[in-house]
Amino acid sequence: MDFGITAPGKIIAVHLNYPSRAAQRGRTPAQPSYFLKPTSSLAPTGATLERPAGTELLAFEGEIAIVIGEPARRVSPADGWQHVASVTAANDFGLYDLRAADKGSNVRSKGGDGFTPIGPVAIPVAGLGEGDWRVRTWVNGQLVQEDTSDTLLFPFGRLIADLSQLMTLETGDVILTGTPAGSSVVLPGDVVEVEVDAPDAPGAPSTGRLVTTITQGVAEFGDFGTRPATDELQRVEAWGSDEELAAAVAAGRASAPVSTSAADAAAPAAGTVPAFELTDEMRADFGRVAVATLSVALRKRGYHDIFIEGVAANHAGDRIVGRAKTLRFIPFRPDLFQSHGGGFNAQKLAFDTVAPGEVLVVEARGERGTGTVGDVLALRAQVRGAAGIVTDGGVRDYDAVAGFEIPVFSQGPHPSVLGRRHVPWEVDVTIACGGAAVQPGDVIVGDGDGVIVIPPQLVEEVLAEALEQERQEAYVAEQVAAGASVDGLFPMNAEWLTRYRAAQEAS
């Protein structure tokens, strides 16, 4: 079979690498992680792929595949790209029905025959850079994925450097570099196409479209191994979001929610962030709701300590809305600062990997006697598209940081550097900021009243209630401005509520 490349000795795939995909998953990795795919999973363009009998969640992942030329062993990130001979298209198909069986190794969920279509053309990379590439995916002719390699969390050279620390990457080895947002479930009869190109390069070289047609398998799984099983988390993650799953159900492409006998085995561990997407519509709605109103809705649900105390914005009128990326400092100790304070430490890592739309939340234990962010790192977060920074510590280079567009909520200015009070310790963990527990993926909302933390599972109901409360308060304000007494109006009694509802229906 012709894959557009020589059959590789190794196929290595990256778990999460595009910010858009990380945002969907509700977590941004600090470092790349990988899994292996067997060469028997390779397939050429035009092949068919069976969705095994008894499964429902076969998902595509359009990817840029890089092919090793000169062998690489212990190379630097700066030199990694020099070891790439060519780039091609790949589709990293996977069965979410078998994810629980593999505990992250993806041996069965992504290692089946034909689960790695690749090709049809390998583009030589001579004269082209790491950031020049685009990947697009179509399902039944509709464009569903599009992203570029200049957005990657971990560029190609860094992947090669990381992997080559422990293994020799040999000529012909293939690295699948991650998939952007838009991956979803396909059904028998669907046609999936993936294309990689360099649209701004001379001649706009392209791999052509890698075409795969999905068919229905008939061979059932035996009872001598783990059988396919789904639960609601797997279904949401496979389809991409709650909204995509709901749309698929409405369109007849997915069945209504059902659990299987193995659902408990596939359930997420306690404390993990449920699948959730902070949509653009939600962000806009949060922009119309006061933090004070949101806090009332949370208190009704028993959440009283979700306010990040003692922080204020560096620009009057600033608002922030985004999902939390966390950074934790521990108290200063000379030996720990020596081992963790230098080089590419946790603080630099957090600011260098914050994803677009995320809010970087910093635990400084309420210690304002030193800076926890300065002008260079704040600028890095702004360039990466972060929605804001929240720290319960101080800000160094305060005037310079105030000159940037990015909102920063803090305890105020302080000229000292980290080593006075802090050791940068870890990222993407549960932290305490201003007296509030914050987990990666929590929704952070801030305004002139301060900053609040909303667990993802409560976002939709809290936001809906807060929007309704804002509408009611706007109505009350209109009536007061028109001369009405606040007696019975604030809060509204039954008579005023009837008037309010009638006004809403008429509008």
80-99 pLDDT per residue, tens: 999 999 999 999 999 999 98
Q: For residue 453, give Cα distances in angstroms to 29, 303, 443.
A: 21, 10, 6
Domain shared by 451 and 479, yes or no: no
Residue 290: inside a domain: yes
Instruction: Name residue, tokens 């003692």.
Output: 310
Does residue 50 lie within any of the structural domains? yes
Does residue 235 sit within a domain? no
Cβ neighbours for 475, distance < 8 A, ≥ 6 positions apart: 500, 503
Its sign, for the CA torsion 36, 42, 46, 50, is: negative
Counting as low any pLDDT under 50, the low residues of the chain are 1-2, 258-274
Task: Round to whole Å and give the CA distance between 24 and 183.
Answer: 10
Task: Provide the terminal-to-terminal Cα distance of the chain, rounded to the nearest Å.
Answer: 64
Are 496 and 431 part of one and the same domain? Answer: no
Tell me, yes or no, whether 306 and 198 share the same domain. Answer: no
DSSP secondary structure code for residue 437 in this structure: E
In a domain, 2, yes or no: no
Is 218 found in the same domain as 169? yes
Q: In CATH, what number is assigned to the domain containing residue 314?
A: 3.50.30.40
Cβ partners under 8 Å of residue 369, min gap 6: 394, 414, 416, 420, 421
Residues 336 and 360 in one domain: yes
- Looking at the fold, whether 346 and 433 belong to one and the same domain comes out as yes
Tens-place pLDDT, residues 150-186: 999 999 999 999 999 999 999 999 999 999 999 999 9
Domain total of the chain? 3
pLDDT score of 222: 85
User: Are residues 484 and 448 located together in one domain of the fold?
Assistant: no
In-domain check, residue 275:
no
Same domain, 495 and 451: no
Residue-level pLDDT at 474: 87
Helix, strand and coil in the chain, % to nearest 5: 30, 25, 45
Residues 24 and 44 in one domain: yes
How far apart are alpha carbons 10 and 159 in whole angstroms? 14
Domain-located, residue 108: yes
Residues 72 and 203 in one domain: yes
For residues 409 and 474, membership in a common domain is answered with: no
Its domain, for residue 474, covers 467-506
Residues 188 and 285 in one domain: no
Within a domain: residue 253? no
Mean residue pLDDT of the chain comes to 89
Residue 313 maps to a domain: yes
Using an 8 Å Cβ cutoff, are 350 and 360 in contact?
Answer: yes
